[in-house]
Amino acid sequence: MNDFLYGEETLTAAKALAISNKTLKAKLSKKTIDKVKESATHVHRMVERGEPVYGINTGFGPLCTTSISADETKILQRNILQSHSVGVGEPINTQIAKLMLITKVHALAKGHSGVRIETLERIIWHINQDIIPVVPSQGSVGASGDLAPLSHLFLPLIGLGKVQFKGKIVATSELFQELGVRSLDLGPKEGLALINGTQFILAHSILVLDRLQNCLKQADIIGAMMLEGLQGSLSPFHEKLHLLRPFKGNQHVAGRIRTLLKGSEILEDHIDCDRVQDPYSLRCIPQVHGASRNTWLHLKELVEIELNSVTDNPIILDENNAISGGNFHGQPLAMALDYAALATSELGNISDRRIYLALEGGHGLPQLLMQDTGINSGYMILQYTSAALASENKSLCFPASADSIPTSMGQEDHVSMGSISGRKALQIVGNLEKILAIELLTAAQAFEFRRPLKSGVLLDEVHKYLRTKVTFAESDRVFADDIEIAIGIIRSGTIPQLIDGVMQEKNIAWSTPFRNEFDTL
């Protein structure tokens, strides 16, 4: 694979993740270096002319009418990093901080931010050496960029703040002294260029996309297993039915379920039963899972635009044009993240309903999925946990972007709160992973009561794999241990990988349209 070229090629969520985990190398091309140098030259000429340009030779926010002399411009840029480093709360994990660095480099490398090449190269050094700044999780309102988190992210450039290196958090000054590295003196506009932007929101969005896509794939697989366990009907997944209401997500999910259930003896066994229709949590899997997939696709499209945008302020077009606008405003992603949070929560809602359905004792299954209940509670309390998680997710679904509090003495009078949208969406995804883990255990338990009948080869392989990790429950035990194992399985993405491997080996093709859109990140 060729190296990715910052600022020149199209960055996707998948490529950003690959750069962060070092499976893809990234560098600056000569073309990009020349553009960045030219942009920095434009800024220096503006300073020399003495014309007032926001953030270059004026104060910030409500101080935008305060003139700054040419001699003071460097002090101004250093001061902005210090004064805006006001974040609080637990630090974000290093993966998010590293994604912030990667996405910021790509935005600055577009050559419209006025930073020097030395500054850009130092940020890349941090990425390549895994010397990742410590960034508090709270403090951004997501409007004039993610000011507080980005300030903390770039304090190490001037020798301040803390970094995580080789598993330890250390003071930047101490590490630089140990490594013989000198801190940078920022040039005109550089401090402002560094802290203006949406990279905190964007980094969270990348992880939401990645982890939600993993959940979407597994929700279909686990839902299909539960359909088998409850002896549900395949009719609601008929291709012609979904062509009459052709939402992409609905069609995609219905096709996946058809493929997963192909060759099922369990389905054949009850094809002529007297049940007219299934409850919604089974029958409406394409409509509910599909709606969440449509939401994921919408977020993916917006994230790709943002990944390849210039989001600081002012934007340097040429030596005579520095436009002060609002490209740093987080609203485009804030609203989409709130939408994704709702879509994620709904996957957990319907999953919890299927878990509950499996415990009722109908559809030929024993009550609480255990033969000897009374002395045993069976799977009763696992559903308590899924219900608690589903309810917690509902409480987290209030859209952060619906709120706005004026800041900066009214200069920034409408803010996006997108940083909160991103943090909440990621929290909801984490809860969904736990709910799906519980449904996986429940579906596998129900699945077993259909023996000696077999499902199709795909779901049988999934069940066989799970039984190498978690045994069938004949009596009560500490189910928290089972749940933790299942959460690990969900987060690892092992089940979709297993399915893909079996399909390749057996020459089975997905009966799904829109695969390229939904299955690529």
Return averaged pLDDT per consecutive 10 residues of the chain, 521 residues in all: 93 98 97 97 85 69 64 82 96 98 98 96 98 97 91 98 97 97 93 95 98 98 97 95 98 98 88 76 98 98 98 91 91 98 98 97 93 95 98 97 84 88 98 98 97 96 98 98 98 98 96 92 95
Task: Identify the pLDDT of residue 49.
Answer: 81
**Burial category of 79 from C-beta neighbours within 10 Å (exposed 0-12, middle 13-18, buried 19 and up):** middle
Please report where in the chains the tokens 């994921």 appear, as a residue: 296
CATH of the domain at 368: 1.20.200.10
Please tell me whether residues 332 and 430 are part of one structural domain: yes
What tokens does 110 get?
């577009």
Task: Identify the pLDDT of residue 53.
Answer: 73
Inside any domain, residue 410: no
Contact 328, 311 (CB under 8 A): yes
Number of domains observed in the structure of the chain: 2
Please tell me whether residues 259 and 151 are part of one structural domain: no
Please tell me whether residues 379 and 495 are part of one structural domain: yes
Give catalytic status of residue 465 as yes or no: no
Tell me how many helices (H) and strands (E) the chain has.
21, 9
**Residue where one domain finishes, among candidates 163, 197, 231:** 197
Number of Cβ within 10 Å of residue 435's Cβ equals 29
Please tell me whether residues 287 and 394 are part of one structural domain: yes
Inside any domain, residue 164: yes
Round to whole Å and give the CA distance between 493 and 211.
9
Please tell me whether residues 109 and 239 are part of one structural domain: no
Active-site hit among 6, 54, 339, 379: 54
**Burial category of 5 from C-beta neighbours within 10 Å (exposed 0-12, middle 13-18, buried 19 and up):** middle
Round to whole Å and give the CA distance between 511 and 505.
17
Task: Identify the pLDDT of residue 322.
Answer: 87
Amino acid, res. 89: G
Please tell me whether residues 335 and 454 are part of one structural domain: yes
**Domain interval for residue 442:** 204-310+328-404+415-519
**Burial category of 439 from C-beta neighbours within 10 Å (exposed 0-12, middle 13-18, buried 19 and up):** buried
Please tell me whether residues 260 and 396 are part of one structural domain: yes
Q: What are phi and psi of 43, to 5 degrees?
A: -65, -45
Please tell me whether residues 427 and 458 are part of one structural domain: yes
Please tell me whether residues 244 and 155 are part of one structural domain: no
Please tell me whether residues 160 and 66 are part of one structural domain: yes
Round to whole Å and give the CA distance between 446 and 114.
61
Round to whole Å and give the CA distance between 121 and 100.
15
Please tell me whether residues 175 and 234 are part of one structural domain: no
List, for residues 345-356, the tens digit of each pLDDT value.
999 999 999 999
Please tell me whether residues 37 and 166 are part of one structural domain: yes
Inside any domain, residue 462: yes
Inside any domain, residue 234: yes
CATH of the domain at 10: 1.10.275.10
Helix (H, G, I), strand (E, B) or coil at 317: strand
Any idea of the CA torsion for 65, 66, 69, 70, to the nearest 10 degrees? -50
Number of Cβ within 10 Å of residue 62's Cβ equals 13
**Residue where one domain finishes, among candidates 172, 197, 222:** 197
Inside any domain, residue 264: yes
Inside any domain, residue 409: no
Inside any domain, residue 321: no
Round to whole Å and give the CA distance between 410 and 40.
31
